[in-house]
């Protein structure tokens, strides 16, 4: 597998959330706003990339029997580091994510990559794999976050939890331009349920159904093409038979 | 240590802040082992058992070791190691002393180490119950009550969900919604029902 494929596979083909359903707890819990989703994604990028590098470095020294506990300790160490960094540099994000920062330790995605990839591959490949997978994870989180925040509030804010690049909170996208057109407040049409717990389940359900729909349509097309090919073959066989029969009849005459 | 405190902690953890539907902990087993009612019951019994033991042990470790020796920042590493070894220990003890219980819970126990509900409750206890001035006994009592309530809430929801899923098997679901999407939708509707209990206490 080339380095490029190794990096890109986490985005679509092997997306951790949308395809493998790994790390569902953060996917539901921290996606009420785009910013918390992005914050969680950044933490996972750091933890997964570093833990993949370290696991790959020590893969030849760790006895097979104590493999999993050793990986868990490595991951927990990096989680503790990001926990302290977040508390220091983004205290609002630290409060918003709460118990889900220490819970990165038991995120199946990270232990899964350590077991399935980093314990068998070179340091560089493991690093690329970790980067790709965690960025794919971040992308999925942000997609769910955009969906939920837009439906719940009609705007996407930046700067509430992540204090980087901006002085105060700004709206990246909003629907205020609709007010003069409709004469009503946008808030009248929003669904605050999507920022609460039920909205998380329903939003993820809808997104997964859309993805599955694409697969179903693709399968149906493939099936239709296969059927058409079978029909075509049958027709050709029949024609050949007819031609043979005609030839025979001609010979007989 | 009154009965009122115990009952409040149980109701609050079980119904109002339900572990799966409100806090999103333990969603993986919720979707994974809820295809049959029997496996749902086995899993939730194992979770309840390990959760109570793990809460008591992690609270004790934090209050009597990590905090007095000024190393509370190591709690995540300590807790996950304690939980992992505890699950192994519980498995061995059950295997030795109670064959029927081992038969019922055995296959679910190894899965529990990576169940985020266990670590989540242990960390949550420290965040919400533990304070410097709280006497050890009282805090431990509250932590264990919360763990019992959380485990019962996990069992309640996973049992109800598995019953719904058994009915769903016979239903005519559109192809694109089959499997996980429809399960998540069902969970969302259940979560809406639980949202109605918010503010009872």
CB contact under 8 A, B184 and A204: yes
CB A201 within 8 A of CB A8: no
Give, in order, the Cα–Cα distances in Å from A160 to each of A96, A147, A183: 10, 18, 29
CA A88/CA A76 separation, integer angstroms: 18
Domain that holds residue B118: 3-195
Instruction: Tell whether B200 is covered by a domain.
Output: no
Q: Are residues A12 and A135 in the same domain?
A: yes
Domain count, chain B: 1
Instruction: Tell whether A191 is covered by a domain.
Output: no
Of A138, A173, A208, the domain-final residue: A173
Is the pLDDT at B79 greater than 70, yes or no?
yes
Q: Are residues A213 and A110 in the same domain?
A: no
Domain that holds residue A238: 196-252
CB contact under 8 A, A77 and B77: yes
Q: Is some CB atom of chain B closer than 8 A to the CB atom of A72?
A: yes
DSSP letter string over B145-187? HHHHHHHHHHHHHHHHHHHHHHHHHHS---GGGTTHHHHHHHH
Q: Are residues A206 and A159 in the same domain?
A: no
ipTM of the complex model:
0.88
Coil/strand/helix, residue A198: helix
Q: Are residues A60 and A138 in the same domain?
A: yes
Encode pLDDT of B9-43 as tens digits.
888 888 888 888 988 888 888 887 777 888 788 88
Domain count, chain A: 2
Q: Are residues A20 and A88 in the same domain?
A: yes
Any idea which of A103-107, A147-151, B110-114, B163-167 has the lowest mean pLDDT? B110-114
Of A173, A205, A223, the domain-final residue: A173
Tokens, residue A9: 């596979």
Encode pLDDT of A123-138 as tens digits.
999 999 999 999 999 9
Q: What ranges in chain A are assigned the alpha helix state H?
A: 3-8, 24-29, 34-57, 67-89, 91-97, 108-113, 123-153, 179-182, 197-252
Q: Are residues A221 and A166 in the same domain?
A: no
Instruction: Tell whether A184 is covered by a domain.
Output: no
Contacts with A189 (C-beta within 8 Å, 6 or more apart), sequence order: A154
Predicted confidence band at B197 (pLDDT cuts at 50, 70, 90)? confident
Q: Which residues of chain A have pLDDT under 70?
A: 178-179, 182-187
Question: Residues of chain B whose C-beta is under 8 A from some C-beta in A?
Answer: 21-28, 31, 73-77, 79-81, 84, 113-116, 119-120, 123-124, 127, 175-185, 187-189, 191-192, 194-195
* Nearest of B121, B182, B44 to residue A201 by alpha carbon: B182
Q: Is some CB atom of chain B closer than 8 A to the CB atom of A196?
A: yes
Residue A144: the pLDDT is 94
- Which residues of A are less than 8 Å from B191 in CB distance? 197-198, 200-201
Q: Are residues A18 and A138 in the same domain?
A: yes
Question: Phi and psi of A17, rounded to 5°?
Answer: -85, -50
Residue A182: the pLDDT is 66
Residue B1: the pLDDT is 61
Measured in angstroms, the CA of A99 and the nearest CA of chain B are apart by 7
Residue A183: the pLDDT is 67
CB contact under 8 A, B24 and A99: no
Of A113, A142, A173, the domain-final residue: A173
Instruction: Tell whether B125 is covered by a domain.
Output: yes
Instruction: Tell whether B81 is covered by a domain.
Output: yes
Instruction: Tell whether B122 is covered by a domain.
Output: yes
């Amino acid at each position: 597998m080339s380095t490029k494929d190794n990096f890109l596979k986490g985005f679509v083909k092997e997306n951790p959330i949308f395809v493998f359903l790994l790390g569902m707890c953060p996917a539901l819990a921290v996606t009420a706003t785009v910013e918390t989703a992005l914050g969680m994604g950044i933490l996972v990028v750091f933890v997964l990339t570093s833990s993949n590098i370290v696991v790959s470095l020590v893969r030849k020294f760790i006895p097979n029997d104590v493999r999993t506990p050793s990986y868990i300790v490595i991951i927990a160490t990096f989680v503790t580091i990001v926990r302290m960094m977040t508390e220091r540099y983004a205290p609002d994000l630290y409060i918003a994510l709460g118990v889900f920062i220490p819970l990165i330790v038991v995120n199946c995605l990270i232990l899964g990559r350590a077991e399935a990839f980093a314990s068998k591959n070179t340091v560089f490949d493991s690093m690329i794999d970790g980067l790709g997978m965690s960025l794919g994870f971040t992308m999925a989180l942000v997609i769910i976050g955009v969906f939920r925040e837009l439906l719940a509030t009609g705007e996407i804010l930046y700067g509430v939890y992540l204090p980087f690049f901006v002085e105060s909170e700004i709206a990246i996208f909003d629907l205020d331009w609709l007010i003069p057109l409709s004469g009503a407040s946008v808030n009248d049409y929003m669904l605050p349920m999507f920022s609460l717990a039920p909205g998380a389940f329903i939003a993820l359900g809808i997104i997964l159904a859309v993805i599955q729909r694409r697969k179903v349509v693709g399968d149906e097309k493939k099936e239709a093409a296969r059927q058409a090919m079978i029909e075509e073959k049958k027709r050709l066989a029949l024609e050949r038979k007819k031609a043979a029969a005609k030839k025979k009849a001609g010979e007989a005459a | 240590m009154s009965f009122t405190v115990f009952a409040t902690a149980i109701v609050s953890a079980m119904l109002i802040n339900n572990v799966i539907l409100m806090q999103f902990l333990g969603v993986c087993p919720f979707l994974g082992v809820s295809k049959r009612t029997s496996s749902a019951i086995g899993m939730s019994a194992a979770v309840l058992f390990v959760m109570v033991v793990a809460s008591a042990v992690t609270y004790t470790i934090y209050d009597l070791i990590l905090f007095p020796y000024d190393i509370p920042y190591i709690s995540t590493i300590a807790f996950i190691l304690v939980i992992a070894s505890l699950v192994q220990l519980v498995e061995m003890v059950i295997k030795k002393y109670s064959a029927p219980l081992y038969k019922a819970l055995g296959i679910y126990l190894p899965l529990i180490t990576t169940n985020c509900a266990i670590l989540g409750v242990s960390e949550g206890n420290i965040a919400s119950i533990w304070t410097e001035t709280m006497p050890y006994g009282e805090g431990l009592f509250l932590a264990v009550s919360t763990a019992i309530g959380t485990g019962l809430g996990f069992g309640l929801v996973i049992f109800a969900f598995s019953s719904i899923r058994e009915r769903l098997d016979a239903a005519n679901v559109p192809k694109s919604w089959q499997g996980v999407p429809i399960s998540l939708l069902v969970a969302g509707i259940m979560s809406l029902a639980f949202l109605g209990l918010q503010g009872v206490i």
